[in-house]
Structure 1
């Protein structure tokens, strides 16, 4: 959560700098370089702080019980199977979509929808795995 609190102002600042870069040439470029130097210094400070801290202890979370192997195996099979199936589906639909678009370029929107539906298979497997892991 705290990472997002830090990241949102940085993203907003990047958007402002990008707008300035589009409107003003040389001044905006200097501002962009200055922002990059500040960001590099902040990254160096965070790295130094992380290296100065001691190692984290792994005792904060209790170990998982040994009886959950079936749910973990089911989640692994769900993700692996759906990803393999999605890969095969995207291979066939993607090549067919490219062939159709080479003949009729106006079919781009329909072809992308069909390829997106094939990619949805992997998301279904991920949802099933999350549901199974929720039972652990």
Structure 2
């Protein structure tokens, strides 16, 4: 187990140093090093996946649901929170960039643009409230 973690940390460190080298040196070797970085990230992901599949199942065991319908409640709570945060991220990205453009043209509308950004962030809170309500019924 420690060998897998050591190899993963070594690959991660070498990838970071290669990125620093690319940012400072550039040139012809940058293409080769970028390929090496992609390969090292792939190997790193495989090592982490192997670690998670082979070493952690003995320590982390899933809890059993109290009844069969509880598993569907857990899935629906996770989906409501996850989809709401994805939608909120998209909304904040769209509204926030538009608000920045509008504020750069007219600084007097900063307060109104912040209200719209706050409304977009509220989508995630609504999803969290729904998931809490679902989990409260289980």
Number of residue pairs matched?
Answer: 75
Which one has a bigger Cα radius of gyration? Answer: 1
Q: Does residue 1:76 correspond to 2:51, yes or no?
A: no
Q: Does residue 1:65 correspond to 2:66, yes or no?
A: yes
Q: CA deviation at 1:66?
A: 3.9
Matched residue, 1:15: none
Q: Give the CA RMSD over aligned residues.
A: 1.4
Q: Distance in 2 between matches of 1:78 and 1:106?
A: 37
Matched residue, 1:100: 102
Unaligned runs of 5+ in 1: 1-61
Q: Distance in 2 between matches of 1:64 and 1:74?
A: 14
Q: Are the equivalent residues in 1 in contact too, given 2:80–2:131 (CA < 8 A)?
A: yes
Residues 41-73 of structure 1, C-alpha deviations (whole Å, 9 max, x = no match): xxxxxxxxxxxxxxxxxxxxx964142101000
TM-score normalised by structure 1 residue count: 0.53
Unaligned runs of 5+ in 2: 1-62
Matched residue, 1:131: 133
Q: Which runs of 4+ in 1 moved over 3 A?
A: none
Q: Distance in 1 between matches of 2:90 and 2:120?
A: 9
Q: Are the equivalent residues in 1 in contact too, given 2:80–2:130 (CA < 8 A)?
A: yes
1:1-136 residue pairs with structure 2 within 5 A?
64-67=65-68, 68-136=70-138
